[in-house]
Amino acid sequence: MQVFYTPNIKKITYQLPEEESKHAIKVLRLEAGDEICMIDGIGGLYYGIIDDPDAKKCIIRVIEKIEQYNRRNYRLHIAIAPTKNIDRFEWFLEKATEIGIDEITPILCERSERKTIKTDRLFKIILSAMKQSIKAYRPKLNELTKFSDFLSANYKGNRFIAHCEDTPKPSFKSKLSNSQDFIVLIGPEGDFSAIEIEKAIELGYQEVHLGKSRLRTETAGIVACHSVNILKDE
C-alpha cells in the first residue's frame, strides 16, 4: 500500500498536498476507490480511499485513524558533523529515520570539512525515509549549528560524546540501560578536537566508544542510533 505524508490532517475529508497529489495520480496512476496509507508526522497513521483523483488536489476520505503509531518510550537526539561528501550524510539521515530517531542537529566543528548544507533537500530525504519505513513521527532536523552554540544550549537528558581519542572510556551500550533521553555527539572526519572534547566533558557529556573499529562519521551515527533502538526496544 502506498504511503503519503499528510501534515495537518484533521477531518474525514483531506486534500493531499500538490506534490503528493501529482505523485499519486500521475506517477503511481492511482484511481478513485484505491486505498492509501497516510502519516502526519506527529504520530497519526491513517487509512483512506481516493474520492477525487485530481493530480493537483487529490481528495481522500479517511476511513481509519491510529494515534501514536509505534510511539517509543525513549527519545534520541544525535548532533553530528555533516560529512565532506554530502551523499554520506544524506545516507545517515535516511537510515537513522528508518531505524528511529527524534532529532538531528548538524554541527559545525573545528575540523569540519563541510560548512554548509541545504536543509530543504535533507528534509525531503527524511520524508521519503519516513514513508518507506512507515514512521508516523517526523524527526526534527535543525539548522547547521556551531559546536560551541550546541553545547551552550544545555540540552537535557543523558549526554554522550563519542570520539576516537585513545583514552579509557566505557562503551556507549553499557550506559543505556537506565536512560530514556539520549543526546549523542558525533564529530567530523577528523574527529573532535581535544578542546572540544574537554569542553563537552566540562558541561556534563560522558565520553564513550562505539566499538573496537574506527568508524566513519556517518557509520558512527548509525551505530549510535541502532544501539539505542535495539536496547530500548527489548
C-alpha grid cell, residue 29 = 496512476
Is residue 65 a contact partner of residue 19, using CB atoms and an 8 Å limit? Answer: no
What whole-number distance in Å separates Cα of residue 108 and Cα of residue 84? 12
Residue spans of the domains in the chain: they are 3-66, 75-232
User: Exposed, middle or buried: residue 231 (CB in 10 Å: 0-12, 13-18, 19+)?
Assistant: middle
| Domains 3-66 and 75-232 fall in the same CATH topology | no
What whole-number distance in Å separates Cα of residue 16 and Cα of residue 156? 37
3-state DSSP assignment of residue 24: helix
C-alpha grid cell, residue 23 = 505523485
CA 14, 21, 59, 49 dihedral sign is negative
pLDDT per residue, tens digit, the chain (234 aa), is: 889 999 989 889 999 999 999 999 999 999 999 999 999 999 999 999 999 999 999 999 999 999 999 999 899 999 999 999 999 999 999 999 999 999 999 999 999 999 999 999 999 999 999 999 999 999 999 999 999 999 999 888 899 999 998 889 999 999 887 778 999 999 999 999 999 999 999 999 999 999 988 899 999 999 999 999 998 876
Q: Does domain 75-232 have CATH number 3.40.1280.10?
A: yes
Alpha helices in the chain (DSSP H): 18-22, 86-99, 119-133, 147-152, 194-202, 217-232
| Separation in Å, CA 203 to CA 147, 155, 181 | 13, 10, 17
Whether this model's pTM surpasses 0.85: yes
Count of Cβ atoms closer than 10 Å to residue 130 Cβ? 21
* 3-66 CATH pick, 1.10.3720.10, 2.40.240.20, 3.40.350.10, 2.30.30.60: 2.40.240.20
Q: What is the pLDDT of residue 179?
A: 74
Reported in sequence order, the residue ranges of 24-157 that DSSP labels E, i.e. its strands, are 35-39, 45-52, 59-66, 75-80, 103-108, 140-141, 145-146
